[in-house]
Amino acid sequence: MGKFNPGQKLNASFLAGAALVMLATGSIMRWFDPFPDALRTGATFVHDWTSFAMVVAIAGHVVVALRHPAALRAMARGGPG
């Protein structure tokens, strides 16, 4: 399986892709002059929903971490929980 499990790989891929989407759509919203209204509206929609998905993913990880204090302690300090 390697160093990371499939869930960790999926999460990393999702967040990396979402970061690129946020960068692209944020750039369209920041420098909007060369883009038509339809593209700017779509960029706003995608940017909003991507940010919502990222918040849900990160909040879910925080909740799971708080439910497993020994594992959280081991990640923060190193060594066994």
Kindly report the pTM of this predicted structure. 0.81
Query: Own/partner pairs for 33-41, CB < 8 Å, 24+ apart?
Result: none
Looking at residue 17, its pLDDT comes to 98
List Cα–Cα distances, 35 to 23, 25, 39, 47, in angstroms.
16, 11, 6, 16
Give 77's pLDDT tier (boundaries 50, 70, 90): confident
CA 81/CA 23 separation, integer angstroms:
37
Give 72's pLDDT tier (boundaries 50, 70, 90): confident
Side chain identity at residue 80, one-letter code = P
Looking at residue 81, its pLDDT comes to 58
pLDDT in tens, 39-65: 999 999 999 999 999 999 999 989 988
